Copies of this chain bind each other. A is one copy, B any other.
Amino acid sequence: MKKILVIVMDGLGDRPNPELGGRTALQAAYRPNLNYLASRGLNGLMFPVKEGVRSGSDTSHLSILGYDTFSVYTGRGPFEAMGLGMEVMPGDIAFRANFAYMNEDGIIEDRRAGRISESTEQLCRAISLEIDGVKFMVKNGVEHRAALVMHGAGLSDRITDSDPHVVGKSPENVRALAPEADFTAEVLNKYLEKIRPILKTHGYNKARTQSGNLPATELLLRGAGKAPTLDSFPDKFGLKAGCVVGIPLISGICRLAGIDVVNYEGATGTVKTNYQGKIAAALRALETRDFVLVNIKAPDIAGHDGKPELKRDVIQESDKAFGQIIPHLDNIVVAITGDHSTPCSIKEHSGDPVPLLIASDGMNRDGVSRYDEVSATRGSLRLKSTDLMDVLMSASDRSEKYGA
């Protein structure tokens, strides 16, 4: 029985870049360790979630961990809240939220309160409070965006939005769509009532008005979602599990799955992260665990920014760090893949498959000795991400036998 190391290079997949002579960032990268690891096992393509799905990092990581996203994914609310670093517990209700400008007559005049440029952190703190045993926690996002999490007993996400979705109207009264949501709608309406005077009189908004900006006098809520209860990953696979990840969205998912979040020096979740430290931390974590998931966010950031040279460079930095894995192939089955493609040419996630390598001592090898999107097409594997864990359980000789 071997240990399992899964390295997800976020947004790894790419398309040809004119800036790189028509090559993908991965093809253009100097990557001796990735190529060597490719030669030590099986290669191929992985389809995040399934063929042709343009997945997010949340749905993709859920499926890489073996969850059927079509049954467990409860919408963006809870995952965006996690992405902002909020602790979301099973049963919590989470919303996507906008700070908006509502005038004296209660009419929404600007759904983005003039696209706020300064952080709304102090405003969010001021309207994080408790009513009738329900905690309301608000966390600032980019510009006018925020997330609201409701934590308490007996909450339901079967409620309507307060966001009227158009200007010139008042915020909607939140209504229950099912009897079990009556309490949730009631306490949420109380909450929205209670925070209006707080927002109106807050120094932050006075300052905005004085400087000629629209004040953030209303919090518009949409997309209520209940944080899913995930079956325990360690129980399901019989693995003592940890993760080394720099971004809150993925550590949030791991927490929901019962996977330890391992801290490491220099974690940033940016292109300046400590690549060597991350892989060293993962290998250390594996000393006392059976499974470790690593997420390297940098390629996705470079892809979203449309910077092929940067994407190439962060892959090169990662490759240097992967050299640390090679001496451990007698004891570890390593999988290196992406959670989705983020081609620099479109600056967004695409549904393209991602390269996958699975390497360890004693495995069959499929003769592929380069790790990139095109070489992977000559490999032996074609996997949906939801099947990856089963394949790794088998490759590490940990599967239960099914049958006699």
Contacts and interface: CB of A to CB of B under 8 A. Distances in A.
Contacts of A49: 402
A239 B171 CA distance: 34
Q: What's the dominant secondary structure at chain A's contact region?
A: loop
A351 B350 CA distance: 31
Contacts of A291: none
A139 to B, nearest CB: 15
Contact of A390 (B16, B53, B346, B376): B53
Interface string A326-358: 000000000000000000011011111000000
A366 B362 contact: no
B377 A373 contact: no
Interface string A358-373: 0000111111000001
Interface stretch (A3-11, A54-62, A273-281, A315-323): A54-62
B55 A402 contact: yes
Contacts of A367: 374, 377-378
Q: How many of these chains are in the complex? A: 2
A192 interface: no
Contacts of A60: 403
A401 interface: yes
Nearest to A353: B380
B55 A403 contact: yes
A255 interface: no
Interface stretch (A100-108, A305-313, A391-399): A391-399
A390 B384 CA distance: 14
Given A380-B45, A404-B83, A394 B362 contact: no
Interface stretch (A73-81, A158-166, A227-235): A73-81
A16 B42 CA distance: 13
Contact of A377 (B83, B352, B366, B403): B366
A399 B364 contact: no
Interface in A32-50: 42, 45, 49-50
Contacts of A79: 403-404
Interface residues of A, number: 61
A389 interface: yes
A390 B52 contact: yes
Contacts of A57: 403-404
Which of A83, A348, A397 neighbours the largest number of chain B CB atoms within 10 Å of its CB? Answer: A397
Contacts of A374: 364-367
Which of A390, A394, A395, A402 neighbours the largest number of chain B CB atoms within 10 Å of its CB? Answer: A402
Interface string A251-282: 00000000000000000000000000000000
Given A45-B380, A351-B394, A401 B55 contact: yes
Contact of A393 (B52, B59, B393): B52
Interface of A: 15-16, 24, 42, 45, 49-60, 69, 73, 76, 79-80, 83, 249, 345-346, 348-352, 362-367, 373-374, 376-380, 382-383, 387, 389-395, 397, 399-404
23 contacts: A15-B362, A24-B364, A51-B387, A54-B399, A54-B401, A54-B402, A55-B402, A56-B401, A56-B403, A58-B403, A58-B404, A76-B403, A76-B404, A80-B404, A345-B362, A349-B401, A350-B399, A351-B390, A351-B394, A364-B374, A366-B377, A367-B378, A378-B378
Given A351-B390, A352-B395, 12 more contacts: A24-B364, A50-B390, A51-B387, A53-B390, A54-B401, A57-B404, A349-B401, A350-B394, A351-B391, A351-B395, A365-B374, A377-B380
